[in-house]
Amino acid sequence: MDSVLVSACLRGVPCRYDGRDKASPRLAEAVAGREVVSFCPEAAGGLPTPRRPAELVGGDGHDVLDGTARVVEDTGRDVTAAFVAGARRALAAARHGGCTEALMMPRSPSCGRGAVYDGSFGGQLVAGDGVTAALLERNGIAVRNAPGV
């Protein structure tokens, strides 16, 4: 059976930074007939729920993986190591589950695909991918933003 990795918050798990979920009513049709592996990379990286908002500074998730950008909370605290650890655990879960695709939370510093917040905490988006999205892509897993979010 075809498997897909899905951001846990999209499946109704209250694991977002604000302690809420982001359940997507359109997700069911996107994963119909497939085995679903739910995963929250930020929680898996050891961050609490709720937690401070975090954004990418100095680039996107690819740059974080290359060591040229960071993930920081709105307080300035560097949480890069937790984001990278969570991304590695997400990749391990995807491989274990036989996932060839991931449906992720848009704009997230972990899961976002194509656009992420710019690091100013002002709600501005820039082109790029989150840390987990970047690692999954680098390892041959197709990443898409979940529909309806």
Task: Please report, for the chain, the start and end positions of each structural domain, with discontinuous segments joined by +.
Answer: 3-145
Q: Tell me the per-residue pLDDT of 77-132, one tens digit each, with 9 for 90 and over.
A: 999 999 999 999 999 999 999 999 999 999 999 999 999 999 999 999 999 999 99
Residue 111 CA neighbour count, 13 Å, CB half: 28
Burial class (CB in 10 A: 0-12, 13-18, 19+), 118: middle
The pLDDT value recorded for residue 1 is 67
Residue position matching structure tokens 């848009």: 106
- Phi, psi at residue 78, to the nearest 5°? -80, 120
* % of residues, the chain, pLDDT over 70: 99
The pLDDT value recorded for residue 140 is 98
The pLDDT value recorded for residue 143 is 98
Instruction: Report the alpha-carbon distance of residue 19 to residue 27 in Å, rounded.
Output: 20
